[in-house]
Amino acid sequence: MTATTAFKILTASQWASWQAEGVFQGAPVDLADGYIHLSTADQVEGTATKHFAGQTGLMLAEIDLAVLGDAVKWEVSRGGALFPHVYAPIPMAAVRAAVPLHESEA
C-alpha cells in the first residue's frame, strides 16, 4: 500500500486524553480487537456512517503512517478493502492535524 496518511475518528474525550497523555492507546473497540483501527481518506465517510452515526463532537486526526513504521499492517476489512491497522500506541508526534468531523460527514 502506498498511502502515507490515514485517519482516526475520535470522540472529544478520546482526543482530549490523547493530547493530555501524548499517546493514544486506542478506543474501546481498538483495545478489544488488539489494534487501532484507522481509515484512508476514501474510507473515512463509510467508517463515520457505520460506526459513529448520530454522534456529535467528533474529531478527525490525520496520522502520518511513516512515523509508525512496521506497527502499521494493511489488512482486509469492510467490503474486502484494505484498512490500516496499528499494532502499537500512536504517539502525538504521528498526528499531522486534527479537525472537527462535521455532522454532515457522519
Domain spans of the chain, in order of start: 5-105
The answer to whether 86 touches 68, Cβ cutoff 8 Å, is: yes
CATH code, 5-105: 3.20.170.20
Higher pLDDT, 35 or 78: 35
Give the Å distances, CA to CA, from 87 to 16, 51, 91: 21, 20, 12
Model confidence, pTM: 0.91
What is the per-residue pLDDT for 105? 45
Q: Which three cell numbers stand for residue 92?
A: 502525538
What is the arithmetic mean of pLDDT over 89-100?
Answer: 97
Q: What digits encode the pLDDT tens for the residues 15-55?
A: 999 999 999 999 999 999 999 999 999 999 999 999 999 99
The answer to whether 75 touches 69, Cβ cutoff 8 Å, is: no
CB atoms within 10 A of CB 86: 22
What is the arithmetic mean of pLDDT over 74-99?
Answer: 95
Length of the chain equals 106
Statement: residue 83 has pLDDT above 80: yes
Q: Which parts of 2-100 fold into alpha helices (H)?
A: 12-21, 28-33, 44-52, 65-68
For residue 2, give the nearest of 65, 81, 91 by alpha carbon. Answer: 65
Q: Which three cell numbers stand for residue 8?
A: 482516526
In the predicted model, what is the mean pLDDT of the chain?
92
What is the per-residue pLDDT for 104? 47
What is the per-residue pLDDT for 78? 81
